[in-house]
Amino acid sequence: MWFVERRKYVQEENYVYETLYTLANGRLSLRGVDEFSNYKMPGTYVAGIYDKHDAQVTELVNLPDPLGISIYVDGEPLLLDKSTIKSYMRALDMKNGTLNSSIVLELTNGKLIQLDSQRFVSRSNLNRFGIIYKITPLNFSGKIFIENYIDNTTYNGKLDPANKIQHYAVLKTGEMMPGLFSLVKTYDKGHLIAIRTALKGYDSKGENILRYRKYRLIGNNPSEIYTVFIREGETFTLEKYGAIVTSRHSSEPLKDADANVGIYFAEGVEEELKRHTEIVNKTWELMDIQIDGDETAQLGIRFNLFHLYQCASDDPTVSIGARGLHGEGYKGHVFWDTEIFMFPFFLYTLPKYAKNLLLYRYNTLPGARKNAHQNGFKGAQFPWESADDGTEVTPKWGEDYLGNPVRIWTGDEEYHINADIAVSLVHYHIVTSDDDFMRDYGVEMLLEIGRFWASRVEYNERNDRYEINRVIGPDEFHEHVNNNVYTNYLAKWNLLKSREYYYWLREKYPDKFEVLKYYLGLTDEEVESWKAIAEKIYIPKKEDELLIEQFEGYFQLEEHEITEWDENGLPKWPKTVDLTRLGETKLIKQPDVVMLMLVLPEEFTKEEMRVNYEYYEKRTMHKSSLSPSMYSIMGLKIGDTHNAYRYFLQTVLVDLEDNQGNTNNGFHAASAGGAWQCVVNGFGGMCLEKNGELNFEPWLPEHWKSLSFRINFKGVPLKVTVTKEKLCIETRVEMPVKVRGNRFDLRPGKNYFELVG
Which segments are annotated as binding site for substrate? 336-337, 589-590
Q: Which segment (173-181, 208-216, 329-337, 361-369) binds ligand IFM by CB under 6 A?
A: 329-337
Q: Taken in order 193, 662, 407, 475, is the CA torsion positive or negative?
A: negative
* Binding site per annotation, positions: 336-337, 589-590
Nearer to ligand IFM, 284 or 330 (CB): 330
Radius of gyration of the chain, Cα coordinates, nearest whole angstrom: 27
Residue numbers annotated as active site: 476
**Interface with ligand IFM, residue 371, by CB under 6 A:** no
The CB-of-336 to ligand IFM minimum distance in angstroms stands at: 6
**Cβ pair 354, 388 in contact under 8 A:** no
Is the separation of the CB atoms in 738 and 706 below 8 Å? no
Residue closer to ligand IFM by CB (options 222, 395) is 395
Taking the complex as a whole, the smallest distance from the CB of residue 424 to ligand IFM amounts, in Å, to 14
Interface residue with ligand IFM, options 50, 241, 284, 330 (CB under 6 A): 330
Stretch that binds ligand IFM, among 43-51, 121-129, 328-336, 628-636 (CB under 6 A): 328-336
Residue 264, judged by CB atoms within 10 A of its CB (0-12, 13-18, 19+), counts as: buried
Smaller CB separation from ligand IFM, 29 or 166: 29
Nearer to ligand IFM, 309 or 335 (CB): 335
Pick the closer one to ligand IFM by CB: 228 or 670.
670
Closest by Cα among 752, 462, 407, 728 to 583: 407
Identify the three-state secondary structure at position 149: strand
- Name which position in 17, 335, 382, 415 contacts ligand IFM (CB under 6 A): 335
| 51, 151, 258, 337: residue in contact with ligand IFM (rule CB under 6 A) | 337
Q: Is 322 in the site for ligand IFM (CB under 6 A)?
A: yes
Minimum CB distance to ligand IFM, residue 377 (Å): 22
Amino acid identity of residue 740, one-letter, is R
The order of strands in the sheet holding 44-46 is 23-24, 28-30, 44-46
Q: What interhelical angle do 253-267 and 269-287 show, nearest 10?
A: 100
The least CB distance from residue 591 to ligand IFM, in Å, is 10
Contact indicator for 425, 435 with CB cutoff of 8 Å: no
What's the first-to-final CA gap in the chain, in angstroms? 33
Q: Are 339 and 354 in contact (CB under 8 A)?
A: no
User: Candidates 153-161, 233-241, 335-343, 441-449 — which segment interacts with ligand IFM by CB under 6 A?
Assistant: 335-343
Backbone angles phi, psi at 350, to 5 degrees: -130, 70
Interaction pattern, residues 279-318, with ligand IFM; x per rule: CB under 6 A? ----------------------------------------
Nearer to ligand IFM, 133 or 667 (CB): 667
Closest CB 342 distance from ligand IFM, rounded Å? 11
What one-character-per-residue DSSP string does 328-388 give?
-GGGG-B-HIIIIIIHHHHHHH-HHHHHHHHHHHHHTHHHHHHHHHHTT-SS----SSB-S
Q: Which of 265, 336, 504, 616 touches ligand IFM (CB under 6 A)? A: 336
- C-beta of 335: minimal distance to ligand IFM in Å? 4
CA distance 644 to 205: 57
550 touches ligand IFM by CB under 6 A:
no
Segment lying near ligand IFM (by CB under 6 A), choices 107-115, 206-214, 331-339, 688-696? 331-339
Distance from C-alpha of 435 to C-alpha of 60, rounded to nearest angstrom: 34
Q: Give me the least distance between CB of 384 and ligand IFM, in Å please.
A: 8
Smallest separation (angstroms) from ligand IFM to the CB of 678: 17
87 bridge partner residues: 104
Please, which residues have CB within 8 angstroms of residue 110's CB and are 6 or more apart in sequence?
A: 139
Q: What are the φ/ψ torsions at residue 576 (nearest 5 degrees)?
A: -80, -10
Task: Candidates 49-57, 330-338, 599-607, 651-659: pick the segment binding ligand IFM (CB under 6 A).
Answer: 330-338
Sequence-separated (6 or more) residues with CB below 8 Å from residue 409: 472, 479, 480
Q: Phi and psi at residue 171, in whole multiples of 5°?
A: -90, -45
**Quick check: helix, strand or coil at residue 8?**
coil
Of 20 and 626, the one with the shorter C-beta distance to ligand IFM is 626
Under rule CB under 6 A, how many of the chain's residues touch ligand IFM?
A: 10
Residue 22 or 148 with smaller CB distance to ligand IFM: 22
Within residues 471-510, the interface with ligand IFM by CB under 6 A covers 474, 476
Nearer to ligand IFM, 182 or 488 (CB): 488
Q: How far apart are CB 383 and ligand IFM at their closest, in Å? A: 12
Please return the burial class of 119, using the count of CB atoms within 10 Å of its CB with bins 0-12, 13-18 and 19+. Answer: buried
Please list every residue from 609 through 628 that binds ligand IFM, using CB under 6 A: 624, 626
Whole-Å CA distances, 334 to 23, 253, 311, 421, 670: 20, 26, 12, 12, 11
| Torsion angles phi and psi, residue 93, rounded to 5 | -95, 100
Nearer to ligand IFM, 222 or 332 (CB): 332
d(CA 555, CA 542): 13
Q: Provide, rounded to whole angstroms, the least separation between the CB of residue 330 and ligand IFM.
A: 5
- Distance, in Å, from the CA atom of 26 to the CA atom of 326, rounded to the nearest integer, reads 11
Q: Which amino acid is at 376?
A: G
Interactions with ligand IFM, residue window 670-709 (CB under 6 A):
670
Residues contributing to the site for ligand IFM (CB under 6 A): 322, 330, 335-337, 474, 476, 624, 626, 670
